[in-house]
Structure 1
Amino acid sequence: MKIFSKEQIYEGDKLTAIKQNITSTELMERAGIQIFNWLHVRMQGAQVPIHIFCGIGNNGGDGIVIARHLINAGYNVKTYIVNYSTTRSKDFLVNYDLIKKTSKKWPEMMGPKSELPVIDKDDIIVDAVFGIGLNRPVDDWVKNLFIHFKQSQAFTLSVDIPSGVYTDRVPETENGIVWANYTLSFQSPKLIFFLPETSKYSVQWEVLDIGIDRDFLSQTETEAELIGKNEVLPLYKPRDKYAHKGDFGHSLIIGGSYGKMGAAMLSSRAALSIGAGLVTAFVPKCGYQIMQTVFPEAMVITDKNDTVISEIKYDFEPSVIGIGVGMGTEDQTIVALEHFLKTNTKPLVVDADALNILSKTKSLLTLIPKQTVLTPHPKELERLIGTWTDDFDKLKKVKTFSKKHNVIVVIKGANTITVFEDKLYVNTTGNPGMATAGVGDVLTGVIAGLISQGYTPLSATIFGVYLHGKAADIAIEDLGYQSLIASHIIEALGKGYIDLFKQPEMPEVVEAPTEKTN
């Protein structure tokens, strides 16, 4: 699913009106009816007080449409105009006139000196104040109104986007923002739903189709794309009946050190479990017996050093190399990595200590192959690109870094984002149970194992992040968040593949009982 920018949304609205021969007011009507239908289906005529707060732009116009239809359907509605400016949009004014004909009275006008309305915690608030067009700080009296919303504890539904949130930067203060229980977004989700600093303003969100022109939706390239099952299915490579292990490549995992052999083991197991034909682990001597015992399916090559990697040598041609997990940053390991990078031409997945070494010696970045995959956790990312002011600044800096070094960067998080040049791929799988040791090592192996099978580095990363999160989602169904460990994710990778082709379960049809006749 594409995530359209603010400018693209405006363009899509205009193009739709032209191609479908409708006015912008009619498109607003269509949007408002969709939200009315959403509420009507759930409320079924319940007389819970509904407070609809409308701005004086197009988001406010949407709110007035919603209010008009709810009033017509017999709901208990109170409509307010949040009069934060002297400028009103044309479509707002059209709908402002229409609602008077429906309700027989004007909505209540609110300004800086207005008393805050009484809102009970069992009431419903519909927030249609600002929408995506906000580009300046919120006035203090409007901030107080939003604080009043939150303090009321009433269920709050935001129209398109929680008011007070920008689409391109993080707000200056939390007080000037509506904290929505639910957001109904028109046609496309917004990037702010997936960033740690802004996603908290909407507990849940849903996209409503308002009939934007299909050609525009399919042909417009967006900066960000939301990755779900439908997006990764086309990436999947089916296996031929007569395939053999040589068809699926040979993954080499380089890592481990004394006391951290588990990282190399997890990464190697993940690479084989995701489908690599062969996996070899290159580890210090102390890891030989561990790897051969715990993971008999792997081949093992050892460094000459007992406890750390000091010289990387192997006598075969791997398809891909995952490097860094549990490797440490000893001086001799840094030298070994530099020598390795100077001669390596194979695709790379770089994680953990290898990333830390690259951060310390940035000149080494010039030695990595094009489209190398980097999988940093937040502190490792900071060491690579420097500090950032907010999530939008972080994305900007990662895109710059990706373009400069021609690399793919995985920004790990609740919605892991894969960045390649100017494009963002926002993942939808995963859960808080993944906040546990070794999960990143598994991801390194998953991505390496997919590249081994012939996936491009970018496809392997997008697909791998999705399957990694889906496996964790499947695993917690039996384990819960707290008990999930990295090995459980590896064990569920197969079910992650199977889930790709699982059809949604249809609700069971229960036949009505028939009367017995004598």
Structure 2
Amino acid sequence: MKIFSADQIYKADKSTIEKEQISSDMLMERAATRLFEWIHTRLQGAQVNIQLFCGIGNNGGDGIVLARHLQEHGYNIQVHVVNYSEKRSKDFLLNLERLKDRKIWPDFINEDSSFPLISPEDIVVDAIFGIGLSRPLDQWVANLIGHINASRAFVLSVDIPSGLPMDRPPVSEVIEANHVLSFQVPKLVFFLPQTGIYIDQWEILDIGLDTEFLTHEEVGYELIGPPDVLPLYRPRNKFSHKGTYGHAVIIGGSYGKIGAVQLASNACLTVGSGLVTAFVPKCGYHSLQTALPEIMVLTDDDDENIEQITIPFVPNAIGIGVGMGTSEDTAKAFGAFLKKQENPVVIDADGLNLLAKHQELLKSVPAQSILTPHPKELERLIGKWDNDFDKLEKTKKFSSKNDCVVVIKGAHSITIYKDKGYVNSSGNPGMATAGSGDVLTGMITGLLSQGYEPLAACVFGVYLHGLAGDIAVHQYGYEALKASILVENIGRAYQELLRPPNRENSQES
């Protein structure tokens, strides 16, 4: 699903108005009608007190139209107009008059007004600011937003929480929305750590924007869900054999950190690699052979660290860095290894730390290799950033300069390749646990070995990794979810992803 900028959404509105030959207030009516239908379906006329806080722009106009529909259907409403400027949009003024024609008189809140009482049992509709917010809030408006947040009422935001800009972090109060009804498309701010904290849940409302425009407009980010990853899946052939699905190698481990290689190797095999070999220091040989009888093991001559990497065959994919350490000898072995590689490799953990420490090694990283940093590892690679938006732009520049795919791990992991980002929608807080990243490294390596292109391996692997966590968390809960449990649920994740739609309904009928 495409993620559009504010400017692109305005263009979509304009294209819709021109193609359908409708007025802008008709499009506003359509959007607000969808809002009303969503609310009415859930409340069914229940006499809860609904307080609508409406700005004086088009977002406020949506709220004013919604108020009219709610009143016409017998709901208990209070309408507050947040009078933060002398400028008003024409569609807001038009619908304000329509509201007054129905004898609904809004309460105008000004700088010197006292704020209305809000009960925790009320529903608050937030329609103060929309996607066009481009300036800091006046202090009294920020205080009003703080007043709403402190009320403990259920807050439903129209399109975006008020006070949240589309392209930068907020500098003042932001509505803390329990639910956001986003018109037609999601917003990037829903998925970033600095801005996503203001949104508990969000949902798309289809308001019928121009399909042709939405289809052909190029975007900087996409939200990845099942419809996006299913076309990437490579089904298995009846007459295939283990060689068909490649031989992957996981390189890593050091004394006390062999478990990282075990997790990655197990995930690599479980995601579908035909053969998996682990390359570790001698200290890891017996534990790996015992824990994972399905994999093969090669060892360095050194007992505790990797000092020379020798693979006596040509693997289809290599993942390197998990638990590897950053000793001087390991750094030399890592540099020598990179210089011999011609195909993309997956680099994680201490492999990333070594790249950051020895930036000259970046020149030896094969084109379209995959780097999977968590935020601190990313910072070591690209330097500090001012905010999440700056982080993304710097990562895009790093990816373009070094021709590599970068997976920024987090609550919504974002895969970056050059000037495009892919925002993952699966996963949960239980996956914030030791070894979760090692599992992802193994999965992406295993997908590469099966013939997936590097970008596809990342987008597919990140989604499948999160889906395994979503399935597992139902049984274990957030706190007890471990990396090894993620591996155990990779197969179930495949089954869930590939399950035919409505299969349960067809079986029941």
Query: What fraction of aligned residue pairs are identical, expressed as a percent?
Result: 57
Distance 2:17 2:497 in 1: 37
1:127 equivalent in alignment to 2:126: yes
8 Å contact from structure 1 (residues 450, 460) kept in 2 = yes
Deviations 1:69-128 (A, max 9, x none): 1111111111111111111112111111111112x1432211101111111111111110
Q: 1:105 to 1:471 in 2, by over 3 A?
A: closer
> SS state of the match for residue 184, structure 1?
strand
Which residue among 231, 234, 241 is the counterpart of 1:234?
A: 231
CA distance in 1, matches of 2:114, 2:484: 57
- Give the residue type in structure 2 aligned to 1:65: V
Cα gap change, 1:226 to 1:335, in 2 (>3 Å): same
**2-structure distance, mates of 1:148, 1:509:** 51
TM-score (norm 2): 0.98
Letter of the aligned partner of 2:145 in structure 1? F
Question: Are 1:171 and 2:166 matched, yes or no?
Answer: no
CA contact (8 A) 1:3 1:189 kept: yes
Aligned partner of residue 499 in structure 1, secondary structure: helix
Choose 106-115 or 271-280, whichever is displaced more: 106-115
Once the two structures are superposed, the pairs formed by residues 365-380 of structure 1 within 5 Å of their partners are 365-380=362-377
Q: Contact between 1:321 and 1:346, CA under 8 Å: does it hold in 2?
A: no
| CA pair 105-285 structure 1, distance change in 2 beyond 3 A | closer
Which position in structure 2 is the counterpart of 1:200? 197
Q: Do the aligned residues in 1 keep the contact of 2:343 with 2:367 (CA within 8 Å)?
A: no
Whether contact under 8 Å (2:154, 2:178) holds in the other structure is yes
* Aligned AA (2:108): M
1:413 aligns with 2:410: yes
- Name 2:188's counterpart in structure 1: 191
Q: Is the 8 A contact 1:318 1:346 kept in 2?
A: no
**How much does 1:510 deviate?**
11
Which residue of structure 2 aligns with residue 279 of structure 1?
276
Q: Match for 2:83: what amino acid?
A: N
Residues 310-329 of structure 1: matches in 2 within 5 Å?
310-329=307-326
1:11-22 maps to which residues of 2 (within 5 A)? 11-22=11-22
Correspondence for 1:397: 394
Query: Does 1:60 pair with 2:60?
Result: yes
Note the alpha carbon deviations across 1:478-510, whole angstroms, 9 max, x for none: 111121111111111111111112234767999
Q: Which amino acid aligns with 2:210?
A: D
Moved over 6 A (4+): 507-511
- 1:48 paired with 2:45, answer no
Match of 2:352, SS? helix
Does the 8 Å CA contact 1:348/1:373 hold for their aligned counterparts?
Answer: yes
Q: Is the 8 A contact 2:258 2:323 kept in 1?
A: yes
Alignment coverage as a number of residue pairs: 508
Q: After the TM superposition, which residues 292-441 of structure 1 pair with which residues of structure 2 at under 5 Å, given as runs?
A: 292-441=289-438
Question: Aligned to 1:131, what secondary structure does the other structure show?
Answer: coil
Distance in 2 between residues matched to 1:32 and 1:398, nearest whole Å: 38
- CA distance in 1 between counterparts of 2:498 and 2:336 reads 44
SS in structure 1 at match of 2:59: helix
1:372-407 CA distances to partner (integer Å, 9 max, x unpaired)?
A: 110111211111111112111111111111111111
SS at match of 2:446: helix
Q: d(CA) in 2 for partners of 1:461 and 1:510? A: 37
> How far has the Cα of 1:433 moved from its partner?
1.2
Q: Which residue of 1 aligns with 2:143?
A: 144
Deviations along 1:170-215, whole A, 9 cap, x unmatched? 0113xx2111111100000111111111111111110000001111
> Deviations 1:309-363 (Å, cap 9, x if unpaired)?
0011111011111000000011100000111111111220000001000000111
Cα 1:327–1:148 change in 2 (3 A) is same
Partner-residue secondary structure (3-state), 2:268: helix
**For 2:131, what is the secondary structure of its paired residue?**
helix
Unmatched tracts of structure 2, length 5 or more: none
Q: Write the letter of the residue equivalent to 1:460.
A: A
> Counterpart in 2 of 1:69?
69
Query: Could you say which residue in structure 2 is the equivalent of 1:514?
Result: none
1:251 paired residue among 248, 251, 267: 248
Give the 3-state SS of the residue equivalent to 1:443 in structure 2.
helix
Write the distance in 2 (CA, Å) between the matches of 1:33 and 1:308: 65
1:3 maps to 3
CA distance in 2, matches of 1:46, 1:476: 34
2:316 touches 2:449 (CA, 8 Å); kept in 1?
yes
Q: Secondary structure at the match of 1:172?
A: coil
The question of whether the paired residues in 2 share the 8 Å contact of 1:474 and 1:496 is answered with: yes
Which residue is 1:101 aligned to?
101
Q: Structure 1 pair 509/145, CA: closer, same or farther in 2 (3 Å)?
A: farther
2: distance between equivalents of 1:421 and 1:314?
31
Aligned to 1:268: 265
Q: For residues 492-507 of structure 1, what are the structure 2 equivalents within 5 Å?
A: 492-502=489-499, 503-504=501-502
Task: Tell me if the contact between 1:235 and 1:463 (Cα under 8 Å) persists in the aligned partners.
Answer: yes
What secondary structure sits across from 2:45 in the alignment?
coil
Give the structure 2 partner of residue 447 of structure 1: 444
| Distance in 2 of aligned mates of 1:509 and 1:438 | 39
Equivalent AA in structure 2 for residue 349 of structure 1: V
Could you tell me which amino acid in structure 2 is paired with residue 160 of structure 1? D
**Amino acid corresponding to residue 158 of structure 1 in structure 2:** S
Separation in 2, partners of 1:419, 1:295 = 33
Question: What is the distance in 2 between the residues matched to 1:10 and 1:396?
Answer: 23
TM-superposed CA distance for 1:469, in Å, is 0.8
* CA–CA distance in structure 2, aligned partners of residues 380 and 413 of structure 1: 12
Q: Per the alignment, do residues 298 and 168 of structure 1 end up closer, same or farther by CA in structure 2, a change over 3 Å counting?
A: same
Are positions 1:156 and 2:151 aligned together? no
- Does the aligned pair in 2 maintain the 1:443–1:468 contact within 8 Å? yes
State the distance in 2 between where 1:510 and 1:274 align.
31
Per-residue deviation, 1:222: 1.2
How far apart, CA to CA, are the structure 2 residues paired with 1:321 and 1:388? Answer: 30
Query: What 5-or-longer segments of structure 1 have no aligned partner?
Result: 512-518
Q: CA deviation at 1:38?
A: 0.8
What is the distance in 2 between the residues matched to 1:381 and 1:78? 48
CA distance in 2, matches of 1:270, 1:501: 19
Q: How far apart, in 1, do the equivalents of 2:91 and 2:486 lie?
A: 51
Q: Aligned partners of 1:365, 1:291: CA distance in 2, in Å?
A: 31
8 Å Cα contact 1:280-1:299 kept in structure 2 = yes
